[in-house]
Amino acid sequence: MSRIDEICKKRQQAHQKLLSADSRVYRAFLDMEAAAYGDGALAKKHKELIAVGISVVTDCESCMQWHIKQAAKAGATKQELLEAVEVGIEMGGGRATVSARFALEVMENVFGG
């Protein structure tokens, strides 16, 4: 199982556990997520691209995997995703280049080599 697949599996398991536990806080978080990423003045695609850049800066691999996949599902191209990663690199400096490597790996997983 690849690192990306493992991240997805662990996120799905945690998601199911929190739903099974009837976590009010987690359900509120999911509602907030739906509100934050729904189309508004900014389209979902653009919001997901913003999240990709933030994920690179914060070095959150699970976030990168999720938001890259969601951005692609919302119509983002590989080039748009690369530019979002590049904005994250600029905002995060040298440390963010390490995160960017993982983001590029996820992009290859989503779009193919």
CB 106 within 8 A of CB 68: yes
Q: pTM for the whole thing? A: 0.91
Can you tell me the mean pLDDT for 2-6?
Answer: 93
Per residue in 53-78, pLDDT (tens digit) is: 999 999 999 999 999 999 999 999 99
Per residue in 78-110, pLDDT (tens digit) is: 999 999 999 999 999 998 999 999 999 999 999
The pair of structure tokens assigned to 20 is: 């099974």
CATH at residue 103: 1.20.1290.10
What's the mean pLDDT when you consider all of the chain?
96
Which domain, by its residues, includes 34?
A: 3-111
Phi, psi of 93 (to 5 degrees): 75, -160
Q: How many domains does the chain have?
A: 1
